[in-house]
Amino acid sequence: MAEHTDDVGAELRRAVTRLASRFRSERLEGEVPDAALQVLVVLEKRGGMSLTELAASAHVTLGSMSQTVRRLEALGHLTKSRDDVDRRRVVFQLTAQGSSAADASLRHRRDWLNARLAELTEDELADIARAAPLLLRLGDS
Amino acid sequence: MAEHTDDVGAELRRAVTRLASRFRSERLEGEVPDAALQVLVVLEKRGGMSLTELAASAHVTLGSMSQTVRRLEALGHLTKSRDDVDRRRVVFQLTAQGSSAADASLRHRRDWLNARLAELTEDELADIARAAPLLLRLGDS
DNA sequence: AGCATTTACTTAGTGTTACTAAGCAAATCG
DNA sequence: CGATTTGCTTAGTAACACTAAGTAAATGCT
């Protein structure tokens, strides 16, 4: 069993690292990078969010997230405002431009991945469908 | 089916991105980063390699790999020499220090991942074992 | 009310890594 | 022999992650 877990673990690490890198290399000219896109996506889903909330959702430090949103703001993809109730707090919100940039990027990424997944058999696809939530659990551990 | 692939794709992307980031955050003080470690690992497995070979195996440009190996050389983890047959070619080889650094790092990473995997059920582990090679295939597509 | 402490955020420095462009050296080809 | 190709290096750039240091605002305690 320990031997078996070893092999699975090594292969899993290799596969995940490689696939994550592959996702990144599919980025088109003009598209925002992954971390920035994830910010846009989560803002689209949840509306206005504070820096602390964004950093927590991305599992990065406040400093890192501050830099990311600064770049997105400079691109006009989001706005930043002070919370009226607690002036320490800033609230970031998606702009229309940011929303459409995110949608375009997501569509392109989805199409690429779906085309890859469509090359798999039904059984293979089912294997991946079963494994994905498990991988996410590992990632959140 | 298209709807189903969509959901699987989105979840897969999220899981892979998150898990890859999680792997990175498990790096200990003094350990080389992922890309550098992969160079050490592949040199350990295959002996001396040229810059072009290393870059190809990592799916990055020559420029990127040149920088990575430069840092590793500075750390004393590998040596660089000119090929006697073709003076354009450089050959990189692992040092004893690099080998032991890689082994220590791999052991730590393996232990962490194995501990995570050990928390899964037999069925879950089997699902991941079946999915890993598929993910690798996607990553190499 | 005033001060100490905590919370929320910003910024600069640093390291890593990926890409590109420009350039040098060596080998090959016609 | 010169043109072309191959192998590599380096600098510039962007992104992003961490840390440390600092400011501002809110909270809690006396």
- What is chain B's Cα-based Rg? 18
What is the fold of B2-140? Arc Repressor Mutant, subunit A (1.10.10)
For the stretch A61-88, pLDDT in tens is 999 999 999 999 999 999 999 998 999 9
Return d(Cα B128, Cα A11) in angstroms, integer.
Answer: 10
User: Phi-psi bin for A30: left (phi > 0), alpha (psi -120 to 50), beta?
Assistant: left
* Helical segments of chain B, H only: 2-25, 34-46, 51-58, 62-74, 96-117, 122-139
Strands B49-50 and A90-94: unpaired
The answer on pLDDT for A2 being more than 80 is: no
Q: ipTM value, please give it.
A: 0.84
Mean pLDDT value across chain A: 91
Q: Does any strand D atom come closer than 7 Å to the Cβ of B36?
A: no
Q: How far is B86 from chain A (nearest CA, A)?
A: 32
Average pLDDT over residues A12-32: 88
- What is chain A's Cα-based Rg? 18
Could you tell me the distance in Å between the CA of residue A82 and the C1' of nucleotide D27? Answer: 19
Q: Which residues lie closer than 8 Å to A15 by C-beta, 6 or more apart?
A: B132, B133, B135, B136, B139
Could you tell me the distance in Å between the CA of residue A89 and the C1' of nucleotide C27? Answer: 63
Return d(Cα B43, Cα B37) in angstroms, integer.
Answer: 10
Instruction: List A residues 81-140 in contact with B (Cβ-Cβ < 8 A).
Output: 109-110, 113-114, 116-120, 124-125, 127-136, 138-140
Going by pLDDT thresholds of 50, 70 and 90, the confidence category of residue B50 is very high
CA dihedral in degrees (A134, A136, A137, A139; nearest 10)?
Answer: 130
For B12, the closest chain A residue by CA position comes to A132
Question: Is residue B83 within 8 Å of residue B46, measured between CB atoms?
Answer: no
The answer on pLDDT for B121 being more than 60 is: yes
Going by pLDDT thresholds of 50, 70 and 90, the confidence category of residue B139 is confident
Taking the domains of chain A in order of start, what are their residue ranges?
Answer: 2-140
Return d(Cα B34, Cα A19) in angstroms, integer.
Answer: 14
The answer on pLDDT for B130 being more than 90 is: yes
Which two tokens mark A60?
């990065």
Q: Is A46 on the interface with B (CB under 8 A)?
A: no
pTM of the model: 0.87
Average pLDDT over residues B72-82: 94
Which two tokens mark A103?
């949608």
Going by pLDDT thresholds of 50, 70 and 90, the confidence category of residue B77 is very high
Total residues found in chain B within this entry: 141
